[in-house]
Amino acid sequence: MFTIVEKRILNDSMTLMAVEAPYIAKKAKAGQFIILRVNEFGERIPLTVADYDREKGTITIIYQKVGKTTLMLDQLNVGDAILDFIGPLGKATELEGYKKVAVIGGGAGCAIAYPQAKALHNMGAKVDMIAGFRNKDIIILEDEMKAVSDHLILTTDDGSNGNKGFVTDALRKNIEDGANYDLVIAIGPLVMMRAVCNLTKEYHIKTLISMNPIMIDGTGMCGGCRLTVGGKTKFACVDGPDFDGHEVDFDEAIKRSRTYFDAEKEATHEYNCHLMEGAKNA
Amino acid sequence: MPNMSPVKTPMPEQEPNIRNKNFEEVSLGYTEEMAVEEAKRCLNCKTKPCVNGCPVSVRIPEFISCVASGDMENAYKIIKTTNSLPAVCGRVCPQESQCEHNCVRGIKGEPVGIGRLERYVADWHMKHGGAETFDVKPNGHKVAVIGAGPAGLTCAGDLAAMGYSVTVYEALHTAGGVLMYGIPQFRLPKEIVQKEIDGLKAKGVDIQTDMVMGKVLSVDELFDMGYEAIFIGTGAGLPSFMNIPGEELVGTYSANEFLTRVNLMKAYLDEYDTPIIRPKNVAVVGGGNVAMDAARTAKRLGAENVYIVYRRAEEQMPARKEEIHHAKEEGILFNLLRNPVAIHGDENGRVRSIECIEMELGEPDASGRRKPVPKEGSNFEIPVDCVVMAIGNSPNPLIRSTTEGLEANKKGCIVVDEATMATTREGVYAAGDAVSGAATVILAMGGGKEAARSIDQYIQSKTK
């Protein structure tokens, strides 16, 4: 059992939790992830390590409430425990040797992009952070991202924060203004990462992305998370989750990510009904 | 008087057309009368060839003579002196090529049903036996075991019985390895595996789940933590794919994924959250026990047509005869001497059909098996919405890639001294599928047992 020691509501759909997991906290690095199972009937879901505290022995996760399991997780509070919490999994991102990097986060992806920016910043690289959200109400980690970057550009799809546009618009502008990036890191929805990669390909800038396929064990024993990268089959849980974005077959990844779409929708619907039933009876 | 019937006392089973719609155990086990009757077929021969066929040397004639006289408690005690998981072994061992293969009664009829009797005794004990008592004196030495599959659990159980303080580290959230995630409920009920594991815990074996060794702790760190020897029983859990076009399509699973979803995550039960595709038509590629398990599982998930696609003939199938027989009874369709060349999908990237080519058996290859050769131009398609690849597994590289001085062969199997199970790294022992590549539960247990003996000698000789 893994006790929740902090819970912070970031916005209507996103929550941060710090979880006591001393063994994992000792080893975790930027780019790695954990797998958790809320209770005995639960499924195993992967979440990126958003932060860690080696001394306190805690791992921070940030999750978006998108379906049954994340909604169930969100019912837990400080002092409650998560049944299984496994990691650190995957390879750490290789960040050595870069001088000027654009770190791009899309929505919930900012929670994963943030530790990358932080690690790069601590290593002395110049970091431009570009964070995109649908609207200003769902902006997260603004202060944190500001603290670890030289420039933070916040965009909203609807312009509700005064800076309308997509992350790709901001990136293109920076590149054309002569930013001279030796690396771009993009983390967010698959379509957003694909758009970034199409752009950076034009300018021949190396681009790392963090893939988020369906996973079960997260240790390389099933291949549920397989992707085609540079024409070869890779398991995201052990070979990734970071890959060269110019090599990834996005169309395939998008199709595979929808494998259980109907089952997920149904489970979420049933769970929401069950929650509302509970609220009515309370 | 021995029972001279040339055939085994039959074991009751669920009807094929009922059981292929549920996940309950297929074989129902003997009643006491049946067990006693079968036990009386044993001639109690002096030479005990059956024992030589058992990788953990169960004292077979001794326990069977207890069964014959109705003394189940002592039968159980005798089995337990050498076998830590009898309820499992009685169910999943390939007895026909081990103990029962050597049985004298098998010369002029069917051998004694040793597996069925072992199973009966273990089940009897779970139902009627009291708590086992352990009066082992701790010897003050610590050993770590990596992997809670059959090899690791056997090694841990034997070391605990010798007085060692043993910690087992397991990556998944449940101990048991392939017994939990691989072999289906209808062949090996998970409650039974859990009881066997609880028995080991009662013996003092500490099991730490959710610990991915190589990631969370290295072998070197385990030594730093005061473990004097380490046993690696990490199995062969890395699935192979065929590398044919279409394996990325939605609906193509490795057998490991398909079976893990169903067995470990219980995707077949509504109250569990893990989803699984409920296919109508399924092709399972391969001819081993895993292929049979996957095919029979698919049938139970409601599939109408389940095809086994295997590139050789039935005689060459590595699966147990009994499993092939059960699969056929349950309506699994066999496409033998057929090999997949591609999987085709629809516009949504979902599996639509599997394209196969006919094969014929050519000259024997280096291993003595006749090599299947494709028949040019014989391609045909089977319409399916799901493909399960059950063409084998190799050892997971996590431990060997994070441990210095641990030698592995080309296939990724850890190199050991065959007599002692010692690896190339001092104080580190290994056995089971991590060493042999995918093999059987009982061979893994035999290796774990051997390693426990060597670890004991190693630590005793060091402390002298």
Of A24, A41, A226, the CB nearest to B272: A41
Cβ <8 Å between B210 and A86: yes
Whether the pLDDT of residue A123 is over 90: the answer is yes
| Under-70 pLDDT residues of chain B | none
- List residues bridging with A30 in a β-sheet: none
Cβ <8 Å between A23 and B238: no
In angstroms, the separation between the Cα of residue B439 and the nearest Cα of chain A is: 16
Contacts of A43 in chain B (CB under 8 A): 265, 272-275
Q: What is the pLDDT of residues B330-374, one digit of tens each?
A: 999 999 999 999 999 999 999 999 999 999 998 888 877 788 999
Contacts of B263 in chain A (CB under 8 A): none
Residue B369's pLDDT is what? 79
B461 membership: H or E segment, kind and range: helix B441-463
Phi, psi dihedrals of residue B197, rounded to the nearest 5°: -70, -40
Contacts of B275 in chain A (CB under 8 A): 43, 260, 263-264, 267
The 3-state DSSP class for residue B143 equals: strand
Among chain A residues, the shortest Cα distance to B274 is held by A43
Q: What is the pLDDT of residues B52-67, one digit of tens each?
A: 999 999 999 999 999 9
Phi, psi dihedrals of residue B426, rounded to the nearest 5°: -60, 135
Residue B334's pLDDT is what? 98
Residue A273's pLDDT is what? 86
Place of tokens 């024997």: B364
The two beta strands, A226-229 and A45-48, are: unpaired
The overall pTM is greater than 0.80: yes
ipTM > 0.90, yes or no: yes
Cβ <8 Å between B215 and A221: no
- List residues bridging with B310 in a β-sheet: B336
Helices (H) and strands (E) in chain B — how many of each? 17, 16
Helix axes B321-329, B289-300, angle to 10 degrees: 20
Q: How confident is the model at residue A282 (pLDDT cuts 50, 70, 90)?
A: low
Q: How far apart are CA A222 and CA A254, in angstroms?
A: 19
* SS3 letters across chain A: CEEEEEEEECCCCEEEEEEECHHHHHHCCCCCEEEEECCCCCCCEEEECCEEECCCCEEEEEEECCCHHHHHHHCCCCCCEECEEEEEECCCCCCCCCCEEEEEEEHHHHHHHHHHHHHHHHCCCEEEEEEEECCHHHCCCHHHHHHCCCEEEEEECCCCCCCECCHHHHHHHHHHCCCCCCEEEEECCHHHHHHHHHHHHHCCCCEEEECCCCCCCCCCCCCCCEEEECCEEEEHHHHCCEEECCCECHHHHHHHHCCCHHHHHHHHHHHHHHHHHHHHHC
- DSSP H stretches of helix in B211-337: 219-224, 255-259, 289-300, 321-329
Q: What is the pLDDT of residues B232-267, one digit of tens each?
A: 999 999 999 999 999 999 999 999 999 999 999 999
Cβ <8 Å between B216 and A87: yes
Residue B396's pLDDT is what? 87
Residue B372's pLDDT is what? 92
Q: Which residue of B212, B221, B222, B352 to mutate against A (max A Cβ within 10 Å)?
A: B212
Q: How far apart are CA A242 and CA A222, in angstroms?
A: 19
Q: What is the pLDDT of residues A29-44, one digit of tens each?
A: 989 999 999 999 999 9
In angstroms, the separation between the Cα of residue A105 and the nearest Cα of chain B is: 27
Cβ <8 Å between A259 and B274: no
Contacts of B250 in chain A (CB under 8 A): 255-256, 258-259
Place of tokens 């939790």: A17
Residue B416's pLDDT is what? 96
Whether the pLDDT of residue A183 is over 70: the answer is yes
Q: What is the pLDDT of residues B175-190, one digit of tens each?
A: 999 999 999 999 999 9
Contacts of A85 in chain B (CB under 8 A): 210
